[in-house]
A and B are shown apart, each in its own frame.
Chain A
């Protein structure tokens, strides 16, 4: 098996005393596409947000590459380093949101070209070339000068993926990337993700697109009620789920 780029162990998180993650153990292999599935409220999105520090967890350990965050009783084990590690983590882990969250005051091009200049001090020229290349890659070259609100949902999400890629992350997290899209616009986004699979980037996708998960993902992780219930090869999970909860969930989709 390939190198494990993400290791999560004993991860717990509650909101106002209500447990959302109840002890997650999970490995993610490098350069693969992992699909996180499960019914709404099972904790998939929270898990994803913990992975890039948008959510602070209470208990457990997350390792991404060489960076490690460890929490014990809501306190960081490495308190003085926590902020720095979180910041470095975000440099390594990109995120694509359900609602795209492009910056409305910048053109599509600037959305992609400016963050590397701001965050990494990448020279303007390089950032511009890279932005143009990425726009081409997601098929939005001719929309470079448009503002986000002049793009369709699918175009916005593709631009958001390009924006995340411009930061050259090792891992890209997707939080229900197609849930806010009209059905007709879903495929253009999935197509981009499919294309990225196999280019060396590790992708973790929270999704309700079961057909996409089955056809494209290298691995399926099924979560229920704050726990990982079942994980494995898409073919196995979809054809022969071991856990009754997985079976019940999948029956609704297939």
Chain B
């Protein structure tokens, strides 16, 4: 159970929640009790009602959602201490929370799912480079902008053919999905637009030649081009965009408070100071915040970031570096294991129930079971997860991420387990049922004592197979804010720009998690096999007759 307490300085990544790493250590709190197999089962019974106690006193944490995978300088894991989330938005969130007299708490959420997550009540506000657009403003409310920026083209050094956006016609240009940059690019004919989920991957593809140019928000360009000797920024500023804090529409009081806090930060110069430290104060900001006084802050945070990225490392340093990822990956692996094991246990129980119903229940129930199995097998797990996590709240059922993840995986795999069991049960000769009935057993007794025990033995190998598959499918639950092994990997990879090494490390962990179960299953199989039993009773005496 030690995993349920966040260790100071290490990420409490289990629940998708981390203490923000700024100046506010008091915001750390134990994550919700989602861990541990026993607790997980308990949670199942209590149906995640821990989410309802909210909106209490002002000392309740101000929870803000963001995607730490989004990268520098917004909010990202400190390259020197991956357990800490840093970034200019972390500092803004901490400042806002401090002014409101509440502790700040960072909630990790996939960027795509930030708005649904807000509506779902996973957090109170979004601070994650969320551009204020009319479309979004229809769904959620925005605070006054806390940052103004523009789009910037980046190319490989030595590429003289692209000097501005105009030169991009006929070229392949990468950008972020759903961004202003994407709209700008798509408005120009003749550009092959590739949209990415994460900024890091786009600049990697620019480096390795898959892209001719990248158009992204200037601050992203700044943080990705500066550490890369092979890249440069070209052209003039394109467009203009404002980042605002996203808040639920009905949360008007919070909106007013946040606007007041931002106003205070602007007038006191705190906001400018944060932006300067991160090296992202531009003339555009000066225009907007009506502050053209000469800067007096060195971009220490930016320099720090560059230094961390450019530090040349010896082999020994690299090994140490990889070793330092292990705790974070290990935590992810624990979540993956808990999740998979619980989901599999449920899936196996539910699957058996489904198979028996499908084979032996009255016709109407049989039909229902068949329909359920076909429906579940015929639709993608990803969509099922989205429906459970984001869809059910509309029906008044709000499950915690862990619970939703377990439920989603369990429901999905129960359909496969049901078919396994059905095949197993059907392969038991009918005469076994007859013999049991002839002894006076009821049909249920016959199933319980005679048929199912024999079927289980046949079902072990395909079940093992499914468990391994489930283990890997569990990576999908990162879309519903679970930080498991794959999510831990992609977060680490995006801050350390190392998809290969950390990827191998994560793959090895999946392999190592699965291995014991494969061995266990093989032992169970052997235990049930006739050869083993012969050994038990001391030698086979088959056909011992005349």
Contacts and interface: CB of A to CB of B under 8 A. Distances in A.
B432 A103 contact: yes
Given A115-B441, A118-B445, A150-B537, A103 B543 contact: no
Interface in B167-216: none
B454 A167 contact: no
Interface residues of A, number: 38
Secondary structure of the B contact surface, majority rule? helix
B235 to A, nearest CB: 75
A78 interface: no
Given A150-B534, A155-B544, A119 B450 contact: no
Contacts of A115: 439-441
A105 B457 CA distance: 9
A182 interface: yes
B438 A90 contact: yes
A10 to B, nearest CB: 24
Contact of A185 (B434, B435, B454, B545): B545
Contact of B544 (A91, A114, A151, A184): A151
B435 A103 contact: yes
A152 B544 contact: yes
A87 interface: yes
Contact of A54 (B437, B528, B534, B546): B437
Interface in A144-158: 145-147, 149-155
B540 interface: yes
Contacts of B438: 52, 54, 90, 94-95, 97, 164
A75 interface: no
Interface string B67-79: 0000000000000
Given A150-B541, A155-B544, A182-B545, A99 B441 contact: no
The residue in B440, B449, B454 that gathers the most chain A C-beta atoms within 10 A of its C-beta is B440
Contacts of B519: none
Contacts of A94: 438-439
A147 B457 CA distance: 15
A146 B437 contact: no
B29 interface: no
A122 to B, nearest CB: 12
**Closest CB pairs A-B (n = 9):** A152-B545, A101-B435, A95-B438, A184-B546, A90-B440, A119-B440, A115-B439, A91-B440, A145-B537
A97 B542 CA distance: 20
Contacts of A147: 530, 533-534, 537
B453 A97 contact: no
Interface in A128-160: 145-147, 149-155
A74 interface: no
Nearest to B545: A152
A180 to B, nearest CB: 12
B159 interface: no
B440 A167 contact: yes
Interface string B401-445: 000000000000000000000000000010110111111111001
Given A152-B544, A155-B544, A54 B434 contact: yes
A104 interface: yes
B270 to A, nearest CB: 73
B427 to A, nearest CB: 13
Interface in A91-122: 91, 94-95, 97, 99, 101-105, 107, 114-115, 118-120
A202 to B, nearest CB: 16
23 contacts: A52-B438, A87-B440, A90-B439, A95-B438, A97-B438, A105-B454, A114-B449, A118-B441, A118-B449, A119-B440, A119-B445, A145-B536, A150-B530, A150-B533, A150-B534, A150-B542, A151-B541, A152-B543, A154-B545, A155-B544, A164-B438, A184-B546, A188-B545
A90 B435 CA distance: 11
